[in-house]
Amino acid sequence: MLLCKKDIYYGYFISCKTVESAFLFRKKKTLLDDSHLEIIPFSFRQTSYETEIKDLQKELTTVDFCPVTDDCISENTNFTYTVFSPDRKERKDKAIILLHGLNERSWDKYLTWAEYLATHTGRAVILFPIAFHMNRAPRIWGNPRSILPWVNVRKKEVQDVTNSTFVNVALSSRISKQPLRFYVSGLQSAYNIMQLVQEIKNGEHPLFKENTSVNIFAYSIGALLSQVLLLANPEEMFSESRLFMFCGGSIFSYMNGNARDILDKEASDRLMKYYVDEFLKSYPIGLSSKSISLEQAFKMMISPDVMRTQRESFFETACNRIQAISLKQDIVIPTEGVMNALGKASQKILEELDFSFTYSHQTPFPFLKDVGKELVNKSFNRVFQKASSFLANG
């Protein structure tokens, strides 16, 4: 299928509708003619660490609207991911994995991000979904009509709950019932990314050559997942990877997920209390001098004073491979939290921006008209020009 983009420059608004239209056909390969990009779907089946993940998921408490345990949700282990790839015949040798934020069901806002990165870096951009997000969860969880009754149930169960909506009730209920689910899902996502990267580097992926260079663009909670992967560096597969974080990279205890489209207040408070007050005590760190496990790496990112020396030493050593942009008015992932994660290395890695229009963490590039439209385009280009320049190398 061929889709043309006439008279397009890389302004955020101009390309959005065209790319979204193309993405509707993602079940088959689609060509964006003027940008010479292909949008290609690939199937993923979880095979690595399958037993370890299932054993953890079987122990997690279920919720009424989903009475089966997490290991029985087939959408989460067999799914499709999409790649924006430069339109060339030969297999690629450079890739970027794009990771999204918490409680996301649609790739819409990321499509122009992926298009820009692929066009300006020459790398194939892989839109990879985190466990139980996007198309890795039952469709009913994102269906307003189906899930709305559970908002009423949630409000009855949790007295005076605020910010409870049909958008966040599935995640909020599952996190409240069992906050360990956040860690287990993150661990599964890390294992899945490791499997994908290993397949790519081994030359087993149909789109990529052996020893392909893999960089990461991470937004919001995807940045935390990326930091854990780079800290642990399993099998040294991320030793040379570059990471660009946008609206992400905070130490966990500084994050605030209390929002109508992320988590309700009770779930947000429960999540924070569990990891800051309970998780570290229940699961001792036990750091090895030889290597860092994914679990240990996650614990390093929970609170500023937990393994501060090891964490800050890593970011100082890796500062040439990591860059980050935070937004001044972002209350979900504040700049202060990113600085507490990176330590002194934040002076080399982090840049805080503040746009001259109303924005939020969830919507950094809102759809505005007239003069506002040009301001958003300018800000979008500023962020992604920097990201592209950085991620094109390595």
Q: Give pTM, 2 decimals.
A: 0.93
pLDDT at residue 7, rounded to an integer? 31
Residue 247 exposure: Cα atoms within 13 Å on the Cβ side: 23
Contacts 24+ apart (CB under 8 A), 339-343: 340/250, 340/251, 340/254, 340/304, 341/227, 341/249, 341/250, 341/251, 341/301, 341/304, 341/311, 341/315, 342/249, 342/312, 342/315, 343/308, 343/311, 343/312, 343/315, 343/316
Tens-level pLDDT at each residue, the chain (394 residues): 333 333 333 455 545 555 555 555 456 677 766 667 999 999 999 999 999 999 999 999 999 999 999 999 999 999 999 999 997 778 999 999 999 999 999 999 999 999 999 999 999 999 999 999 999 999 999 899 889 999 999 999 998 899 999 999 999 999 999 999 999 999 999 999 999 999 999 999 999 999 999 999 999 999 999 999 999 999 999 999 999 999 999 999 999 999 999 999 999 999 999 999 999 877 555 555 567 899 999 999 999 999 999 999 999 999 999 999 999 999 999 999 999 999 999 999 999 999 999 999 999 999 987 778 999 999 999 999 999 999 998 7
Q: Which residues of 240-253 are buried (b: 16+ CB within 10 A; e: fewer)?
A: ebbbbbbbbbbbbb
Determine contact, residues 255/135, Cβ cutoff 8 Å.
no
The single residue listed with the structure tokens 């279920």 is 62
Q: What is the pLDDT of residue 264?
A: 97
pLDDT given for residue 29 in this prediction: 73
CA distances, 144 to each of 7, 134, 141, 166, 169 (Å): 37, 15, 8, 6, 10
Structure tokens at 226: 């990326």
pLDDT of residue 281: 79
pLDDT at 369: 78
* 92-99 and 78-86 beta bridge pairing: unpaired
Number of other residues whose CB lies within 10 A of the CB of residue 369: 7
**Cα angle 228-329-259, degrees, rounded to a multiple of 5:** 70
pLDDT for 10: 44
* Cα–Cα distance for residue pair 127/263, rounded to 1 Å: 23
